[in-house]
């Protein structure tokens, strides 16, 4: 995947749940255009994600599997969700969106992610959880 970095994470602060613990960042024109095209579902398992920034929407042209999509505003608050977006589709454009998270199918359901949730994007590996 032609992205600059794949060591980040996406954490839903509202639900206290990780959306992705292996988050790739797409910030160049080419990496945003390419996204997940041509990859198979096995290369995008639970825990993985692609953060496309900037973005107002996505397409699933040349994709081989469905995905969940989270639209974030400039404060990384969820403003729109697309669950189980099938291949060869165009998702709605949301002009208020500053970025979009592409996630494996069922991630939104498993984490309970909803409109208004606050998402933390970390560009470093996720912090270790301390159990004391």
Residue 49 has pLDDT above 80, yes or no: yes
Predicted TM-score (pTM) of the model is 0.87
Secondary structure class of 66 (helix, strand, coil)? coil
State the burial class of residue 88 (Cβ atoms within 10 Å of its Cβ: 0-12, 13-18, 19+). Answer: exposed
Domain locations along the chain: 5-122
* pLDDT tens track for 101-125: 999 999 999 999 999 999 999 987 6
Pick from 130, 119, 85: nearest CA to 9: 119
Per the document, the length of the chain is 132
Pair of tokens at residue 111:
């984490």
* pLDDT tens track for 82-105: 999 999 999 999 999 999 999 999
pLDDT band at 69 (very low <50, low <70, confident <90, very high): very high
> Hey, what CATH class is 5-122 in?
mainly beta
């Amino acid at each position: 995947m032609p992205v600059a970095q794949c060591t980040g994470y996406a954490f839903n602060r509202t639900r206290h749940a990780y959306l992705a613990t292996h988050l790739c960042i797409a910030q160049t024109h080419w990496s945003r255009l390419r996204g997940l095209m041509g990859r198979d579902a096995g290369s995008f398992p639970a825990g993985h994600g692609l953060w496309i920034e900037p973005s107002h929407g996505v397409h699933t042209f040349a994709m081989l599997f469905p995905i969940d999509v989270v639209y974030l505003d400039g404060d990384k608050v969820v403003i729109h969700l697309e669950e189980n977006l099938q291949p060869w589709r165009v998702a709605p454009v949301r002009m208020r969106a500053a970025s979009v998270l592409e996630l494996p199918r069922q991630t939104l359901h498993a984490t309970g992610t909803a409109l208004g949730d606050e998402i933390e994007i970390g560009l470093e590996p996720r912090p270790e959880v301390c159990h004391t």
